[in-house]
Structure formats: structure tokens, C-alpha cells
Amino acid sequence: MEFTVKSGNPEKQRTACLVLGVYESRRLTLAAEQFDAACGGALGALLRRGDLEGKPGQSLLLFNVPEALCERVLLVGCGRERDLDDRRFRQILHHAATALDDTGATEAVVYLSDLAVKGRDLRWKIRQAVEAVEESRYRFDLLKSKKDAPRRPLRKIILSVPGRRELPEGEQAVREGVAIAAGVKIAKDLGNLPPNICTPTYLAEQAHALAREFPALRVAVLEEAELEQLGMGALLAVTRGSAQPAKLIRLDYGRGPEKQKPYVLAGKGVTFDTGGISLKGGEGMDEMKFDMCGAASVLGALRACAELQLPLNVIGLIPAVENMPGSRATRPGDIVTSLSGQTVEILNTDAEGRLILCDTLTYAERDDPAAVIDIATLTGACIVALGRHPHGLFSNHPPLAHALQAAGHAAADRVWELPLWEDYQEGLDSNFADMANIASHKDGGAIMAACFLSRFTKKFHWAHLDIAGTAWKTGKAKGATGRPVPLLTQYLLDRAAENEREDGRAAH
């Protein structure tokens, strides 16, 4: 889909379809009113007849509106003006895009960026509009022999801005929205692929493909022999039962000043999690193909970062493994030595994410990072604690936690912080090694997993995102969400803006 911005009055648009908002109950939005005045009150008359209440989810397609230059008008219900928040705005755009797809229009001029969304500016609305339209059009039918995609002639969406002065801002918002949506799409595609296709080797190939597309990205893939040499005993313990070779994928994006410290994104890449010898129950086990969604979000965020050419140094680290039972698999009770030198008693082989991440986090020390953020579908307990709306957030550095909260709000991809207090740590005590990989009790599972990781992050600012509840949807709408690509991209956009401000100050 192509997106552009344009200023100008709705009645002047010679387009296949004009999209206008109607509030409940039957009140025209500003743009709709303007259009209506120019067309002799046709819309007002129609609403008075009761054809559209203006409730969210409603829409009405009109042809041959008297004196209009456009071929069609799509009226979209926007609900009550004072209820118009983030969520509602996205719903409205989702509905508008779905309704547009059912028309024969090849392009549309959309006047919904003038809706007053509480606390949000034009840039936000345009970016969200792009993301919502792409979201509504996403299908994963690669592996269906009959594609269910209907005839969809819509190719171009033109988003309105109030005047010529707002064009540059609008264009930048479109660029950001397009880059984020493309990052979300690759994260969804990788998540949705079946585990017999999306293996650690496949993830490594995708990283290479991304680097071919964006020359600012460089890839290196560490193979098992190298991981062995480095001493990544915890990571290797997870892959032992699998016939698929493990990989540690590293992506380098270096468009920042040479002496600027890199931001590291580390994503859990378990391409299938059976639990290993501590085998999971059968119900819903297919969903453990999504256990690499952290890895997918790192690829998506780096793609967005490269497309936006952000002046930053960013490193993506992806430990990619398959967690399988087998005669060579790690047993409960096995003790391994992590890259940090700390020993770990593996009491449950299903707590594997923290094992691959702890070695990856220690490895990140080498790059003297500005901050390290790991992203992982780490614990079912996080879903119990927070449900499926926010990502769980943990950090050893309050300003970093704050920056992620701010980015989550700005990108409408929210986090909720959970505590990482010392009080919890003793739960990981082991009688036989430096620590156990699970707590001795059942309480606070998401926190205990984060406590485990925190023991490998003493040398840098670190945050952990537990995306177990947010990376995919279950049930009828089962599928990857592409989250937290918007959050991560926003975080990087914010860092780029912050550096720019600091450079500006330094120059004075």
C-alpha cells in the first residue's frame, strides 16, 4: 500500500473515494461539515433520515453525491467525540480500511486525521493511521493452497493534513508509520511460520536477507562450535536435545558516531519449545512456535531502524535454538557453566529462555553498550500477572525503564513495570550450584525469571520485556502481533532525537 499526505478541502478532491467521519449521534466531523456545506447539505439530510448513527464500527458508502467531485464517499462512524481515545481511533481506522477494501476504489483520500484524539497530535494520528491500515490488511496465507485474499484494488491512501504548513510533519509521520508497519509485518510473518520451516537456521538466513536489503546492516552468525569455544554452557544446554543446530545471530547497524555506545536488542529465539525433558502438556503446544517472537521483534525493529536511517549504533543479538527432548537432551539436575562463569543447576528444562538469554547478555558486555534490552516470551506467569495487553517490564536502571514507558505510550504499545527487588533473589538458591534456573516456590514466576537474568546484567543498564502475553493472539484470531516492534522503534527514534538535541547543545 502506498501512503501520502495532502492538504486541501474535502470538496475539492477528485478521488475514487473520500473518507469522512461522523460522530454519534449523527454529528458531522469538521471535514464532513465542510464537504456537506459545499454539496448543498446532502450528508446532513441523509443523517437526519437515520441511515447512520455514527456508532464506531458503522459505515455507509455513498455514490453520486450531488455536486461532489469524488466518485464515492465513505462515511465512518466515530462514536462520541469525548470518548475518542487511542483505542477508538485505531478501531475507526481499522473499520475504515476494511470498508474501503470492499469498495472498488483504487485510491482514497482519508479525512480522519482531523479527529480530536485526547492528548495526541497530528504526527501520532498519521502514523497510527498507517499502522492500523496495514494491520487490517495483514493476511498470512503463504501456506494455504487457495489464497483467501479477495479482490482488493485499493492501492493508495492519501491522508489529509490541515494545511501546507503541516505537510513536512505529515510526510515524516508517514515514513515512520510505513517503516514500523514493515517491521511489524516481518515480525508477524516469522512468528506465524510453522516450526518445521522457521528453524534457527532459517532465522539466520532471514538475518542475512535483511542485510542484503539494507547495506547499513551487517550480519555474523556464530555456530555451535564457536559457542562452545566461547563457553556458552547455558545456551548450549538448551539445544542438546535438538537435531537443529543452534545459532547466535548478530546484526550490526552502525550509522551513529563511531565513539557512541551501541544500544543492544537481544531477542529470545526458541523456534519451538516442547519444554525438553520437562515436557509440556499437549494442549496448545503448537503455540510454542511463537517462542521466537522476541527474536522476530529484534529483526523487525532493526529493519525499521535501517529504513529510517536513524543516526544510531544498534546491535541485534538473537540466540536461536529449538528446545526438544531426546537421549542427548539436558536433564533436570544437570549443572552447566554459563559464559559468565556462574554455574546453574537446571531443575526444569522448560525454563530455557533464561538459559539462552543469560549467555547472550554476558556476551553483550563486550560491546560496552549504552543499554541492553532483552525481549522474550519468557513466562506463562507474566500472562497471569498482567493479562495480554502490556508487555512486562523489568529494569536495573530507572531512567531506562522510564524511557521504555514513555516510548510505549508514544507508540501505543504499552509496558507495565514489575519489581526486581533483592528480596526475591533468594528464591533462586541451589544446594549444588551458584543458582537454580527456577525458583523453589511457585510465586511470582515472571519476577523470578527476571531475577535470574538480572544476575547477568551487572555491568550495564538493562531492561527486560516479557512479551509472553503480547507477542501473539490465541483463539480464533490466533497469530503473531508483531509487538513490540512499535515500542522498540519508538525507543530508538527517541534516542536519535535525544542525541540530536545533545549535539545541538554541544555545538553552542
Residue 322 or 352: the one with the smaller Cβ distance to Mn ion is: 352
DSSP code of residue 282: S
- Name residue, grid cell 539445544: 239
Catalytic residue among 354, 414, 483, 495: 354
Catalytic residue among 175, 255, 280, 459: 280
Would you call 354 a catalytic residue per the annotation? yes
One character per residue 291-320, x = contact with Zn ion (rule: CB under 5 A): x-----------------------------
What whole-number distance in Å separates Cα of residue 300 and Cα of residue 308?
A: 12
Least separation in angstroms between CB 473 and Mn ion: 20
Q: Dig out the grid coordinates for 297 from the structure.
A: 521483534
Residues written for the chain: 508
What whole-number distance in Å separates Cα of residue 302 and Cα of residue 281?
A: 35
Residues 243-272 that bind Zn ion (CB under 5 A): 270
Least separation in angstroms between CB 127 and Zn ion: 32
Q: Dump the DSSP string for 30-75.
A: HHHHHHHHHTTTHHHHHHHTTS----TT-EEEEES-TT-SSSEEEE
One character per residue 270-289, x = contact with Zn ion (rule: CB under 5 A): x--x----------------
Of 249, 251, 304, 253, nearest to 271 by C-alpha is 249
Least separation in angstroms between CB 326 and Mn ion: 16
- Name residue, grid cell 461522523: 22
Least separation in angstroms between CB 353 and Zn ion: 5
Q: Does 322 bind Zn ion (CB under 5 A)?
A: no
- Residue 482 touches which of ligand BES, Mn ion, Zn ion, none (CB < 5 to 8 A by kind)? none
Residue 275 or 408: the one with the smaller Cβ distance to ligand BES is: 275
**In whole angstroms, how far apart are CA 490 and each of 19, 36, 131, 313?**
28, 38, 13, 15
- Residue 380 touches which of Zn ion, ligand BES, Mn ion, none (CB < 5 to 8 A by kind)? ligand BES
Least separation in angstroms between CB 242 and Mn ion: 13
Residues 263-302 that bind Mn ion (CB under 5 A): 273
DSSP code of residue 330: P
Residue 388 or 409: the one with the smaller Cβ distance to ligand BES is: 388
- Residue 379 touches which of Zn ion, ligand BES, Mn ion, none (CB < 5 to 8 A by kind)? ligand BES
- Contacting positions for ligand BES (CB under 6 A): 273, 291, 348, 350-353, 377-381, 438, 445, 468
- Count the helices and strands in the chain (H runs, E runs): 14, 21
Q: Bridge-partner residues for 264, per DSSP?
A: 315, 372
- Residue 249 touches which of Zn ion, Mn ion, ligand BES, none (CB < 5 to 8 A by kind)? none
Residue 377 or 396: the one with the smaller Cβ distance to ligand BES is: 377
Our measurement of the distance from residue 328's CA atom to the centroid of its chain's CA atoms, rounded to an integer in Å, reads: 35
Least separation in angstroms between CB 166 and ligand BES: 42
One character per residue 327-366, x = contact with Mn ion (rule: CB under 5 A): -----------------------x-x--------------
Helix (H, G, I), strand (E, B) or coil at 329: coil
Least separation in angstroms between CB 471 and ligand BES: 8
- Show Cβ contacts of residue 181 under 8 Å, excluding neighbours closer than 6 positions: 130, 131, 134, 135
- In the list 353, 369, 427, 482, the residue contacting Zn ion (rule: CB under 5 A) is 353
Which residue is at the shortest CB distance from Mn ion?
Answer: 350
Residue 159 or 356: the one with the smaller Cβ distance to Zn ion is: 356
End-to-end CA distance of the chain: 43
Where is 180: in which H helix or E strand? Answer: helix 167-192
Examine residue 242 and say whether the peptide bond preceding it is cis (omega within 30 degrees of 0). no
What whole-number distance in Å separates Cα of residue 39 and Cα of residue 490?
A: 42
C-beta separation of 492 from 303 below 8 A: no
Would you call 280 a catalytic residue per the annotation? yes
Q: Rule CB under 5 A: which residues touch Zn ion?
A: 270, 273, 291, 353
Q: Which residues are catalytic?
A: 280, 354
